[in-house]
Structure formats: structure tokens, C-alpha cells
Amino acid sequence: MSYSAGERIELQRQRILKAAKRCFIAHGFHAAAISDIAAEAGISQGLIYRYFENKRAIILAIIEMQLVENRENLDRLQASTDFVAALGQAYGLWAKGDPELWHAGLHGEIAAESLRDPIVADALRRSEQQNRQALMAWFHRRDAEMGRRTSDEDAQLRAALMSCIVEGLAIRAVREPDLPPEILRAMLERMMPLVLGD
């Protein structure tokens, strides 16, 4: 299998970002040095600087990567997806700090950095707007499939509720990994109708 120059660049970029995520998770954003990220990715420090000017550029790229992943996750969802079951399952993975999922530590680092750096805050705000739009479009599609109509205001409200609930659960999973499954299920059964409008 051979890659074009453009594909090779993109693969290298992804490799650096994944290594950076692991380093930020392991050491924290400020304690992780570019040299740690280079060692983790198995490439030279000089090469990293050809892709990213500094750690801020890396965190901005991680925010963007998260946005793309969110969109891909949304594309996989069906109108019939059982959210109570799916989020119940996600809870166990969040609790373990799976770096492939929304990671409470990494997102805490990003939140902390956005409170220190207005450029990171701006990027986060813009990515949330795009997230919101993607979620709203998904609610509109789902409702249309179910023969219902949703106003834009209602879709916006439900999208914000969804983000609040999912992130609240992801934090809960880390703070309280042994929450009894029947309580978690009952929580989801109460909250999801607000989001889905079912």
C-alpha cells in the first residue's frame, strides 16, 4: 500500500496528535514537553515543529480533531439508537479513562487552558457552535424520519441539553465509577426524553 505525499503528511500529523493526547493525559498540558510528545510519537522534535509551531497549535488541532470525531459519531447514530443503553455502556469506558473517547482529564486540561488563553477559548467556542449545528441537523433529520417537525429553537435547546448531559455523565463516570447501574439507567431514562423529545 502506498500513500501520496499529502496522505503521508496527514498520517504523520495524526500520529503526533495522538501522541500529544496521550502525553497530556499522562502528564498534564503544561508538564508535557514537546520532547515527550516526540518520544511518544517516535519521531524527532524538529519534525514536530514542522507540523506544529507550539503546544497551543497542538491543542487547537486536538479541539478540531474532537469536532471531526463528534461528527463521525453522529453519522453512525440511527433514529432508533438506544441512547440509554449506549450511554450506559460509554459510562464504563469513560470511567476507565479510555483515551479514544471523551476523556475527563484531557477535556479538563483543555478547559483549564481555555481559561488561561483567549485563543484557545475562542477555538473552543467556535467548535461548540459547529458541534451545536451538527447536533441540530441530526435532531431535524431524526424527527423528520419519525414524521415530526422540530423548530430550530427546540433543536438548539435539545442539542445544548445533550452536550450538558453527556459531559456531566463523563465527569460522573470518573468521580464515581461504581455508580450502581440501576441508578445510571434510571437517570438516563429520565433525562433522554428531554433530549430526544420522544
Q: Give the residue among 153, 156, 132, 151 at the shortest CA–CA distance from 74.
A: 132
Distance CA(195)–CA(198), nearest Å, equals: 8
# of chain residues touching its own copies (CB under 8 A)? 52
Q: Give the residue among 26, 87, 99 at the shortest CA–CA distance from 62.
A: 99
Should residue 87 be labelled a site residue for its own copies when binding is judged by CB under 8 A?
no
Should residue 155 be labelled a site residue for its own copies when binding is judged by CB under 8 A?
no
Distance of closest approach, residue 94 Cβ to its own copies, in angstroms: 10
Should residue 60 be labelled a site residue for its own copies when binding is judged by CB under 8 A?
no
Q: Which CB sits closer to its own copies, 86 or 194?
A: 194
Question: Using the rule CB under 8 A, which residue among 104, 135, 136, 143 binds its own copies?
Answer: 104
Q: Which CB sits closer to its own copies, 29 or 52?
A: 29
CB 90 within 8 A of CB 183: no
Should residue 84 be labelled a site residue for its own copies when binding is judged by CB under 8 A?
no
Q: Which CB sits closer to its own copies, 31 or 119?
A: 31
Q: Is 97 left (phi over 0), alpha (psi -120 to 50) or beta?
A: left
Distance of closest approach, residue 65 Cβ to its own copies, in angstroms: 16
Residues 4-43 close enough to bind its own copies by CB under 8 A: 25-31
- Got the DSSP string for 36-104? HHHHHHTS-HHHHHHH-SSHHHHHHHHHHHHHHHHHHHHHH--TT--HHHHHHHHHHHHHTT-TTS--H
Should residue 79 be labelled a site residue for its own copies when binding is judged by CB under 8 A?
no
Should residue 121 be labelled a site residue for its own copies when binding is judged by CB under 8 A?
yes
Q: Give the residue among 139, 145, 133, 128 at the shortest CA–CA distance from 67.
A: 128
Residues in contact with its own copies by CB under 8 A are 25-31, 97, 103-116, 121, 124-125, 128, 156-157, 160-161, 163-169, 171-172, 174-179, 183-184, 186-187, 190-191, 194
